[in-house]
Amino acid sequence: MNLSFEDIYETYYARVFQAAISVTKDHGIAEDVLQEAFLKAYQKLHRIEDNKKVQAWLVTITKRTAIDFLRKEKKVTLLPIEEEILPFEKRAESSTVEKQLEVNDLNEGIKTKVNTLSPKLKKVFQLKYYNELQEKEIASKLQLSDSCVKSRLYRARHVMKEKVLEVVGDQTA
């Protein structure tokens, strides 16, 4: 018994969308991928022999489509219309100023996130990245073993990585 395309779409839409999001990490792109994946599935619907394998088949198509989509997107860089109209010098100046503002915002967000670290992790992190001390210097200054400093730095970097991704996500939203 073969399912109609409408049945397949309604049954597997959520799972296919989830697969697209897992690769793209972006709802808008995932929607584009979803459309493309279902279009490919529709064109090859006649190949399905086992209804039990439809979900796996659709997820595979979706993930491959998402990867292809992301690869294409990396190759193509489009300029907004406003930037194409501006003379080159003004575009370079505004681009530099905008980038500096973005960097400043990001740095402020990071500093805020550093302050949320536990005191032990915060101190080691600040000495390493703000004071630019070596691990041995940090160990000596805080009267800790080298391995303790390395462990705390590792944990601090791990926590900060997650927090910075939150900051970047907030700025792109």
Domains for the chain: give ranges and CATH numbers.
Answer: 5-75 (1.10.1740.10), 86-172 (1.10.10.10)
Scan for tokens 């190949």, then name that residue: 47
Measured in degrees and rounded to the nearest 5, phi and psi for residue 143 equal: 55, 50
DSSP 143: T
> In the prediction, which pLDDT does 77 show?
43
Q: Is the pLDDT of residue 83 over 70?
A: no
> In the prediction, which pLDDT does 130 show?
80
Residues 58/7, Cβ–Cβ less than 8 Å: no
Using DSSP, state whether 115 is helix, strand or coil: coil
- 154: its two tokens: 């590792």
Cα–Cα dist 33/64, whole Å: 9
Q: Where are the alpha helices (DSSP H) in 115-145?
A: 119-129, 135-142
**25-44 mean pLDDT:** 87
Q: Is the pLDDT of residue 94 over 70?
A: no
Cα–Cα dist 44/138, whole Å: 61
> In the prediction, which pLDDT does 165 show?
73
Q: Is the pLDDT of residue 139 over 80?
A: yes
> In the prediction, which pLDDT does 70 show?
82
